[in-house]
């Protein structure tokens, strides 16, 4: 049976739907990793890391499905319009970003044991600035996936602007860490774990802005680039 435009559209919608579900699963995994830190439950980190196996499997499935769609289109001589081509490229790129965010989530979960040991041994807890940073990190991830689900360029642009906020919260946490270490109110092990996790948060925010860039690309043909401290917009000629 020839590959019709209706069939192409249906396969693209199925691919996009799978990608959105992958995004929500990655968000749940990152939230579980932070929960492993804040809850102090011994098994919470292992449960968070276990979620990564399904994410890796879906990552491969989505990649194969995208390649299969393009291969079938070429074999059948199907004409992909500009938006369809952008959609396939976007799916492949965002799929990769989500898998890398999940890897960062694994790293965050890996820090949970240090937080637990500091709490049990010295009664040392993370400062409130760390919870603010973690909430901000989850928030930018949620908004990036939602912008993908809705193909909402306005929300995607908000994600781009939010990266600065995550960076500001990270800087505030680092200042808090330095002050508490100088006053000997915070163990060095906890300070190190906080610093590493803060960097992981910034890493996630960076991946989220990459997702937002792709959403803007597929929805409006706009390429966003961060240049000289601000976002610049370029139109793709179709």
* Residues 227 and 217: beta-carbon distance below 8 Å: no
Q: How many domains is the chain built from?
A: 1
**pLDDT level of residue 226 (50, 70, 90 thresholds):** low
Question: Is it the case that residue 4 has pLDDT exceeding 90?
Answer: no
Residue with token string 């990036």:
144
Between the two ends of the chain, the Cα-to-Cα distance in Å is 30
pLDDT by residue (tens digit) across 148-201? 999 998 999 999 988 889 999 999 999 999 999 999 999 999 999 999 999 999
- For 81, 84, 129, the CA distances from 5, given in Å and listed in that order, are 10, 10, 51
Give the Cα separation of 204 and 207 in Å (integer): 5
Q: Which of 11-15, 76-80, 127-131 has the lowest mean pLDDT?
A: 76-80
**Radius of gyration for the alpha carbons in the chain, expressed in angstroms and rounded:** 20
CATH assignment at residue 216: 1.20.58.220
Domain that holds residue 25: 5-235
């Amino acid at each position: 049976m020839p590959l019709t435009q209706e069939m192409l559209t249906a396969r693209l919608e199925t691919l996009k739907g799978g990608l959105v579900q992958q995004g929500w699963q990655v968000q749940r995994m990152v939230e579980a990793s932070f929960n492993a830190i804040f809850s102090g439950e011994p098994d919470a980190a292992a449960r968070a890391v276990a979620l990564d196996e399904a994410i890796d499997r879906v990552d491969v499935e989505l990649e194969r499905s995208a390649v299969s769609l393009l291969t079938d289109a070429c074999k059948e001589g199907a004409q992909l319009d500009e938006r369809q081509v952008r959609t396939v490229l976007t799916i492949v790129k965002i799929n990769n970003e989500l898998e890398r965010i999940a890897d960062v989530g694994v790293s965050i979960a890996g820090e949970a044991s240090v937080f637990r040991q500091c709490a049990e041994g010295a009664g040392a807890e993370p400062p409130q600035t760390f919870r603010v940073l973690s909430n901000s990190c989850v928030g930018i991830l949620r908004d990036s996936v939602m912008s993908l689900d809705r193909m909402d360029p306005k929300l995607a642009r908000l994600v781009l602007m939010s990266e600065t906020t995550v960076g500001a919260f990270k800087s505030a946490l680092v200042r808090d860490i330095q002050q508490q270490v100088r006053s000997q109110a915070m163990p060095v092990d906890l300070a190190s774990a906080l610093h590493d996790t803060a960097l992981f948060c910034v890493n996630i925010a960076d991946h989220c802005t990459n997702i937002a860039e792709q959403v803007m690309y597929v929805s409006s043909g706009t390429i966003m680039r961060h240049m000289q401290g601000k976002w610049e917009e370029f139109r793709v000629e179709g």
